[in-house]
Structure 1
Amino acid sequence: MTGLYDIRNPQFGRLVHKNARLEQLWTGGRWCEGPAYVPAGKYLIWSDIPNDRVLRFDETDGSVSTFQSPCGNQNGHILDRSGRLVACEHQGRCVSRIEHDGMRSVIADHFMGKRLNSPNDVVVKSDGTVWFSDPTYGIDSDYEGDAASSEIGKSQVYRVEGDGTITAAVTDMVQPNGLAFSPDERLLYVADTGRSHKPDCLPKIRAYPVREDGMSLGPGADFIVCDNGAFDGFRVDTNGNLWCSAGDGVHCFTPAGELLGKIRVPEVVSNLCFFGPKRNRLAICATSSLYAVYVNARGL
């Protein structure tokens, strides 16, 4: 274990470039989160939640500018199948979308007549359905949103269909957080960061099989447990490996749950995504900064 990489399995040595360096692209945030790549614009956006802004990194010249401020204390982002930017808003307690004409629309803000907690992270399935986690972090205090009581009384993962129908998909977690599908969409992975509220909650990612209808999930099972901090956001590469945020950097796991190795980062990592024309560069949101490193893997 030397330098940037902690290689636990020789396979990880083939997934990273040992001469690649970790680059700090920007610093000055309070809690950086929710990176997403917009290939048509050749830029990356991410959230600085307590500062209520979304920032933009232009990969053509390396400049950083403000994309949106105020932004409703946005957290996670994703592009939908049409290239529209989908955002999780803490303050708005909703999942919103920027339409092609630039107007904002709300995808989901209530479940069974009650306001959502504070949507955290989001993924769009190939059928166009939107899946998002809804822990309470944005209403726990005024730091990342507006302090309020949970109307629903629990934290869940939801699925939103094209007609706006919203269904609770995962109901057995303390604080569901990051989420991603396997490449074949037969599994939904969800991180539980519930240790922040219940000390006996393992910092884990659970795996839920997607049933044949493509809409509902079977019983979940613990998949991997974090050995430093907690898994927050994560992404899956084209081979099904999971690249996960953690307290000491980025942890990479096989589809079988074996830890292959770590990329060490000098700040607590909150989230990450693959970006660039070849999707072979990791954008890493870590506390106050945005980092990047090239890897020998491609994001979905």
Structure 2
Amino acid sequence: MTITLGETPTRIRAELVALDERFAIAGDDYVECLYDGGRWLEGPAYAPAWRSLIFSDIPNDRLLRWDEVSGQTTVFRQPSGFINGNTIDGQGRLVSCAQGERQVIRTEYDGSRTVLASHLDGKRLNSPNDVVVRSDGSVWFTDPPYGITSNYEGHAGEQELDGCYVYRIDPSGRLTVVADDFLRPNGLAFSLDETELYVVDTPGLHIRRFTVDGEKLTGGEVFAPCTAGRFDGIRLDETGRVWAATHEGVHCFAPDGTLIGKLLLPDIVSNLTFGGPRGNRLFVTATTSVWSWHLTTRGAPPPYATKE
């Protein structure tokens, strides 16, 4: 089911499933549908300087911008290079995975684009999918082949690399592989102290947890399995709980990997992020729609936040 703006209410009752007392999360009694006009929405990133949510409509090859003040959604960039994942770096700039162009790019203050990564040892990347920025300025991203398997979300093309890797871009621009044993890595997120990195392996139906050892990753044990379709994007809140996109809505995991609660939604969820002036607004992209839920917990501090 998809809620269409103008035909049905833009609010529905928040359908929560509490599986553990650690899911004692208060919030609004309803979730809001902010936009419903996409084909497959992804990559939500909240930009505080703009009071806006940037998100991708991949098959329509565009970035959209929902303005928090006016409530209006407009086209931010089209064509976009079939951008998938987005994030905001420590200087407030938009960093994106242009999977159609097989690049990770950064949008500068003047609107120009800087290519951060496009090749490994002379071979083109597969199709960068999701991206996070660490507070030291390094950029970490996943590179499955979804954007080159057909012309629906990119351009059908040859996979030049032997596998689907997780990468790190050093602040100097140097690109290195930090994990090479994934089927198709997808969403990723750092722990609160940035000593761990959670990475989704979508066809593996689980989230893995790595230790960040300088410029490398070690470990990689399974953190949590998916019990509703497949995982996609993930984020952490300020207590270290992991929120994950699934086929039935958003699942919430305790730091020990226990599934403690769910926010059920009417569409398959692709990704999510926390935002708003207080950081306590959960934005969710789900198939054609963007949903919002105000809650009492906040998201993990972004890389541009002041570290104590």
Short-chain TM bin: over 0.9
SS in 2 for 1:11: helix
Distance (Å, rounded) in 1 between the aligned partners of 2:223 and 2:282: 23
Match of 1:294 in 2: 294
Deviations 1:151-179 (A, max 9, x none): 01210000001221110001110000000
Match of 1:125 in 2: 134
Deviations 1:55-76 (A, max 9, x none): 1111112111111111000000
**CA distance 1:3–1:281, shift in 2 (3 Å):** closer
Match of 2:117 in 1: 108
Pairing 1:86–2:88 present: no
Pairing 1:188–2:202 present: no
Match of 1:98 in 2: 107
SS in 2 for 1:138: helix
Match of 1:207 in 2: 209
Instruction: After TM superposition, list the pairs within 5 Å mapping 1:165-180 onto structure 2.
Output: 165-180=174-189
Deviations 1:218-276 (A, max 9, x none): 12101100100111001011111001000100000011101110000000000000010
How far the C-alpha of 1:3 sits from its partner, in A, is 6.0
SS in 2 for 1:207: strand
Distance (Å, rounded) in 1 between the aligned partners of 2:113 and 2:99: 15
Match of 1:9 in 2: 20
Normalised to the residue count of structure 2, the TM-score between the two structures is 0.92
- Kindly, what percent of the aligned residue pairs are identical? 49
Distance (Å, rounded) in 1 between the aligned partners of 2:296 and 2:261: 13
Pairing 1:134–2:143 present: yes
Match of 1:254 in 2: 254
1:139 partner amino acid? I
C-alpha contact 1:244 1:250 (8 A) present in aligned 2? yes
SS in 2 for 1:220: strand
Match of 2:50 in 1: 41
List, as ranges, runs of 4+ consecutive aligned residues in structure 1 with deviation greater than 3 Å. Answer: none
SS in 2 for 1:51: coil
In structure 1, list runs of 5 or more residues that go unmatched.
Answer: 195-201
C-alpha contact 1:20 1:294 (8 A) present in aligned 2? no
2:270 partner amino acid? S
Pairing 1:237–2:255 present: no
Deviations 1:183-217 (A, max 9, x none): 011110000112xxxxxxx3100001112xx2111
Match of 2:269 in 1: 269
**CA distance 1:3–1:56, shift in 2 (3 Å):** closer
1:205 partner amino acid? I
C-alpha contact 1:84 1:97 (8 A) present in aligned 2? yes
Distance (Å, rounded) in 2 between the aligned partners of 1:232 and 1:11: 23
Deviations 1:128-165 (A, max 9, x none): 00000000000010000000111012100000012211
Distance (Å, rounded) in 2 between the aligned partners of 1:285 and 1:3: 16
Distance (Å, rounded) in 1 between the aligned partners of 2:251 and 2:235: 11
SS in 2 for 1:218: strand
SS in 2 for 1:179: strand
In structure 2, list runs of 5 or more residues that go unmatched.
Answer: 1-12, 301-308
Distance (Å, rounded) in 1 between the aligned partners of 2:232 and 2:73: 24
RMSD between aligned residues: 1.1
Instruction: After TM superposition, list the pairs within 5 Å mapping 1:24-63 onto structure 2.
Output: 24-63=33-72
2:90 partner amino acid? R
SS in 2 for 1:255: coil
Normalised to the residue count of structure 1, the TM-score between the two structures is 0.94
Match of 1:199 in 2: none
1:239 partner amino acid? T
SS in 2 for 1:40: helix
